[in-house]
Amino acid sequence: MAEMHRFVPFPYEGNRFPSTLGAVVQRTVLDGEHPAREVIHTPEGDWCIGDGVNDPNLPGASIATHISHAVEQNTSLASLASMPHGHIASRSNPGWEWQVQALTEWDDH
């Protein structure tokens, strides 16, 4: 299994997610049960990917994994590699354009 890094210097080379970059991803997204509908690039530089439907904070709902696994399930995620820290991208349905905006609130605790 390849090494996974929480922090990789940003911006990323070629505006592409590094292969070793880790993210917290909802299992429903990884399993293909739901598409990715929310992507957060936290002020600290972490990446979180959710389905926008289920609570990602429930025990066992999310997992730390390589971001590339989420991109394999949802190829449009690749377009968000240049999204700055402290921003969120959301969409209502697959195939819809990602809407990016600054996070208005973020509590990492």
Would you give the DSSP letter of residue 5? B
Residue 98 CB-density burial (10 A; 0-12 exposed, 13-18 middle, 19+ buried) = middle
Q: Does 9 reside within a domain?
A: no
**71: in domain:** yes
Question: Is 78 domain-assigned?
Answer: yes
Q: Which domain holds residue 31?
A: 18-98
In a domain, 89, yes or no: yes
If you search the block for the tokens 């530089």, which residue do you land on? 45
Residue 5 lies in a domain: no
**Number of other residues whose CB lies within 10 A of the CB of residue 66:** 21
Residue 7 belongs to a domain: no
Q: How confident is the model at residue 107 (pLDDT cuts 50, 70, 90)?
A: low
Query: The pTM is what?
Result: 0.92
Whether residue 8 lies inside any domain: the answer is no
Give the angle 7-29-16 at the CA atoms, nearest 5°.
40
| Per-residue pLDDT reduced to its tens digit, 2-59 | 799 988 899 999 999 999 999 999 999 999 999 999 999 999 999 999 999 999 999 9
- Report pLDDT for 46: 95
Query: At 63, is the pLDDT very low, low, confident or very high (cuts 50, 70, 90)?
Result: very high
For residues 103 and 90, is the Cβ–Cβ distance under 8 A? no
Looking at the structure of the chain, the number of domains it has is 1
What DSSP designation does 78 have?
A: G
Residue pair 36/75 in contact (Cβ under 8 Å)? The answer is no
